[in-house]
């Protein structure tokens, strides 16, 4: 018996040692393969130094070293060369702050640039087959569905109601804090409010992270934020695939976060389907999920629960941080520039014909009609100036499907990444003048009327789409157009969902909420009440 136990124990140890040895061998071979291919590619790239290629300024390790301040690093790149290049394993990443190059990529030769296998592989675990991690027919299918659904009056009205409701909740929370002279974290409140609003529009359920009453909602929100950060880190982590294979480190955290997200979202999809089936959801087709569930009945095999998860989660991912960050930076800049703050408060009061005796928020909201909003040129300029310096998407890009030559003469090889440094562009003196780093809304005004800039110079919403986006904030929506104009703008878009979220803030929503919050901050400032506006990296 003892000998059998000894033999069994010895066999177990041998198996464990063998498994460990195999794991170590796989790890060693993987690392050697990455290092060898990277070394060969680097030697070739640095040795060639072809005059017709963008100038080399380093490798992916430069990105990794400066990852915590990567966008400031991009400013350095752009100051050295408007178009430059970094070496990654197996391909180069071209980075540009040249409007002519961006127009070439987003318009002139748009068909040659797609998300590419590199970007798709990085994003797929979180985004699935959503609009940010797919190309080709699936991309076109989602574009077609989304453009139709987002053009409907029902969804526009529903989103307006949702953002109004959550703006009122936020206003109440700020008012209570002001009355008690309590310091608040403004960015956190804005992020929570945006998350609640977009989740309600997307799924039709109350997340209520603003008051933090539901544990599962809080867990989902935290997992959502962590997953976004960890996916982005993959761009500079050469060994993320190895870590994913062994389920260790950052990839283990990502897997756990995605599991929490999936469980939460799939459960909501089942709930929504059950309500719609039983007829208990009297407001069917108001939220995005309901509308796509009805659409899925036409093709249940393609549009299964996982596909629905990918579509709606992409909408949520696109809107939450971009909108919350923009509002956070906007109020941060107002706090740093009290003169601008006073001008905005004055313009809002003048536009809605506000008098001191009117201290009812409902009355104020009721007066924020389209006509009043259209008069707020300075507010428009201040929001746009915020986006110039602090864009919701600081860097974006595609990959070349075939060799190409840029307008500046530089050659692009098939498989090269093509990134436009949006954050850095806002700080370039050769684009914006000597005061490029100053917050000055007046640069957008001519005779007190807002004027658009070139959509390839101000790329906060990707190319020619930008002009329409800012119109969305102040009037006509892109989803109300059709024909050639619609197709042209769709062709140039690379972040349609983030645009749609901002469209949902159009007229009755986005600027209304900004105006309401500006009014609150103005009153708090006048009463010398402390407001802590913390902008986190």
Nearest to 468 by CA among 477, 459, 456: 477
| pLDDT at site 524 | 53
- Those residues with Cβ within 8 angstroms of residue 266's Cβ, 6 or more apart along the chain or in another chain: 305, 306, 309
Q: Count CB-CB contacts under 10 A for residue 330.
A: 22
Distance CA(253)–CA(228), nearest Å, equals 11
The listed CATH number (3.50.50.60, 1.10.630.10, 3.40.50.720, 2.60.40.10) that belongs to domain 136-526: 1.10.630.10
Averaged pLDDT score across all residues of the chain: 78
Q: List 449's β-bridge partners, or say none.
A: 446
* Dihedral class, residue 453 (left if φ above 0, else alpha if ψ from -120 to 50, else beta): beta
Name the residue with tokens 């062709």: 491
Assigned token pair, 4: 């059998």
| pLDDT at site 394 | 93
Nearest to 415 by CA among 401, 429, 395: 401
Helix or strand holding residue 454 (H, E): none
Alpha helices in 337-458 (DSSP H): 338-351, 361-367, 370-374, 377-389, 422-425, 429-432
Assigned token pair, 412: 């692009």
Helix or strand holding residue 336 (H, E): helix 305-336
Name the residue with tokens 């601008």: 340
Nearest to 159 by CA among 520, 500, 516: 500
pTM of the model: 0.74
Q: Could you tell me if 400 and 463 are in contact, meaning their C-beta atoms sit under 8 angstroms apart? A: no
Q: Could you tell me if 268 and 230 are in contact, meaning their C-beta atoms sit under 8 angstroms apart? A: no
Inter-axis angle of helices 116-127 and 249-278, nearest 10: 60
Distance CA(79)–CA(76), nearest Å, equals 5
Dihedral sign, CA of 278, 284, 290, 291?
A: positive
Distance CA(238)–CA(89), nearest Å, equals 8
Pairing of strands 404-405, 396-400: unpaired
Nearest to 94 by CA among 110, 74, 111, 65: 74
Q: Could you tell me if 175 and 359 are in contact, meaning their C-beta atoms sit under 8 angstroms apart? A: no
**DSSP state letters, 375-409:** T-HHHHHHHHHHHHHS-SSS-EEEEESS-EE-TTS
Residue 478, classed as helix, strand or coil, is: helix
Q: Which residues of the chain have pLDDT under 70?
A: 1-50, 130-155, 280-285, 356-362, 365-366, 368, 370, 462-537
Distance CA(252)–CA(248), nearest Å, equals 5
Phi first, then psi: give them for residue 190, nearest 5 degrees.
Answer: -65, -40
Distance CA(132)–CA(318), nearest Å, equals 9
| pLDDT at site 497 | 36
Nearest to 514 by CA among 391, 422, 394, 384: 384
* Dihedral class, residue 86 (left if φ above 0, else alpha if ψ from -120 to 50, else beta): beta
* Dihedral class, residue 136 (left if φ above 0, else alpha if ψ from -120 to 50, else beta): left
Residue spans per domain, the chain: 11-48, 136-526
| pLDDT at site 346 | 93
């Amino acid at each position: 018996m003892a000998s059998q136990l000894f033999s069994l124990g010895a066999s177990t140890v041998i198996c464990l040692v063998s498994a460990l040895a195999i794991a170590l061998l796989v790890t060693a071979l993987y690392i050697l393969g990455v290092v060898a291919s990277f070394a060969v590619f680097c030697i070739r790239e640095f040795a060639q130094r072809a005059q017709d290629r963008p100038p080399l300024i380093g490798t992916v390790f430069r990105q990794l070293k400066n990852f915590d301040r990567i966008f400031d690093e991009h400013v350095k790149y752009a100051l050295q060369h408007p178009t430059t290049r970094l070496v990654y394993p197996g391909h180069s990443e071209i980075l540009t702050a040249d409007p002519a190059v961006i127009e070439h990529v987003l318009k002139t030769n748009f068909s040659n640039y797609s998300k590419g296998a590199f970007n798709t592989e990085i994003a797929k675990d979180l985004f699935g087959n959503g609009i940010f991690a797919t190309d080709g027919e699936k991309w076109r299918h989602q574009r077609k569905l989304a453009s139709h659904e987002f053009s409907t009056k029902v969804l526009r009205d529903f989103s307006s109601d949702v953002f109004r409701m959550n703006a009122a909740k936020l206003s109440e929370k700020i008012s209570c804090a002001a009355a008690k002279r309590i310091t608040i974290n403004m960015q956190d409140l804005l992020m929570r409010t945006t998350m609640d609003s977009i989740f309600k529009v997307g799924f039709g359920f109350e997340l209520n992270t603003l008051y933090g009453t539901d544990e599962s909602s809080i867990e989902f929100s935290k997992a959502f934020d962590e997953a976004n950060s960890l996916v982005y880190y993959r761009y500079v982590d050469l060994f993320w695939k190895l870590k994913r294979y062994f389920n260790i480190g950052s990839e283990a955290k990502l897997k756990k976060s995605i599991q929490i997200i999936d469980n939460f979202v799939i459960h909501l999809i089942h709930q929504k389907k059950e309500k719609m089936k039983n007829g208990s959801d009297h407001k069917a087709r108001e939220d995005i999920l309901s509308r796509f569930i009805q659409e899925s009945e036409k093709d249940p095999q393609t549009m299964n629960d996982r596909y629905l998860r990918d579509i709606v989660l992409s909408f949520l991912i696109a809107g939450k941080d971009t909108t919350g960050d923009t509002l956070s930076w906007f109020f941060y800049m107002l706090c740093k520039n009290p003169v601008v703050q006073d001008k905005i408060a004055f313009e809002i009061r003048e536009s809605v014909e506000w008098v001191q005796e009117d201290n009812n928020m409902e009355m104020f909201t009721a007066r924020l009609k389209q006509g009043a909003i259209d008069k707020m040129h300075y507010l428009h300029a201040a929001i746009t100036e915020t986006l110039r310096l602090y864009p919701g998407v600081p860097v974006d890009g595609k990959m070349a499907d075939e060799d190409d030559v840029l307008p500046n003469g530089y050659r692009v090889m098939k498989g090269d990444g093509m990134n436009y440094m949006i954050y850095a562009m806002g700080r370039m003196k050769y684009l914006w003048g000597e005061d490029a780093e100053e917050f000055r809304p007046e640069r957008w005004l001519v005779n007190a009327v807002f004027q658009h800039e070139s959509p390839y110079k101000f790329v906060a919403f990707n190319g020619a789409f930008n002009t329409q986006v800012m119109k969305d904030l102040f009037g006509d929506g892109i989803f109300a157009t059709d024909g050639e104009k619609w197709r042209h703008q769709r062709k140039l878009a690379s972040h349609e969902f983030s645009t749609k979220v901002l469209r949902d803030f159009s007229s009755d929503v986005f600027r209304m909420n900004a105006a309401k919050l500006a009014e609150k901050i103005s009153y708090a400032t006048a009463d010398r009440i402390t407001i802590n506006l913390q902008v986190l990296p």
